[in-house]
Amino acid sequence: MSKTLFEKIIDREISADIIFEDELCIVIKDISPQAPTHLLIIPKKVIPKLSDSTEDDKQILGHLMLVAGKIADQLGLDETFRLVINNGAKAGQSVFHLHLHLLSGRPLNWPPG
Ligand code: AMP
């Protein structure tokens, strides 16, 4: 199996602006930011999309959310941010390695597009 784009970033084969890393995940700046703060929170385990996750992934999924909250706190986002997971191409997913988008720094309208 060929590596996903994000695996190549995790393995330092492709450069990225890494702002956090631990044993379960990595957090990078999105290369094409849709808000003043646009981060991607990516598990090291390759789960192609959220709907492919299983009970075994509970710890990882919870960890990603907790990391999102901690990073938002550290960056002083004033508890104002949005997390997005695009699940499937029709929902806008383009990289099939699960990731959370963390967006902040501009008005975030509802409903999203
Ligand atoms: P999605 O469309 O939800 O799968 O999100 C994939 C995201 O990855 C998009 O927001 C892209 O801008 C971002 N992206 C693609 N290539 C890179 C890269 N080399 N470094 C950082 N972000 C990237």
State the pLDDT at residue 17.
98
Token pair listed for 15: 């450069």
DSSP conformation letters of 60-72: HHHHHHHHHHHHH
pLDDT (tens digit per residue) in 74-98: 999 999 999 999 999 999 999 999 9
56 Cα–ligand 1 center, Å: 26
Residue type, 26: I
68 Cα–ligand 1 center, Å: 17
State the pLDDT at residue 1.
79
pLDDT (tens digit per residue) in 16-47: 999 999 999 999 999 999 999 999 999 999 99
Q: Which atom of ligand 1 is nearest to the CA of 95?
A: 4
CATH number at residue 85: 3.30.428.10
Q: Do 34 and 20 form a contact (C-beta atoms < 8 A)?
A: no
113 pLDDT band (50/70/90 cuts)?
A: confident
Decide if 111 is inside a domain: no
85 Cα–ligand 1 center, Å: 12
Decide if 113 is inside a domain: no
Q: Which atom of ligand 1 is nearest to the CA of 34?
A: 10
Decide if 59 is inside a domain: yes
Q: What is the model's pTM?
A: 0.98
Token pair listed for 31: 């290369």
Q: Look at the chain and report how many structural domains it folds into.
A: 1
Tell me the residue ranges of DSSP E strands in the chain. Answer: 18-21, 25-29, 37-43, 82-84, 100-104
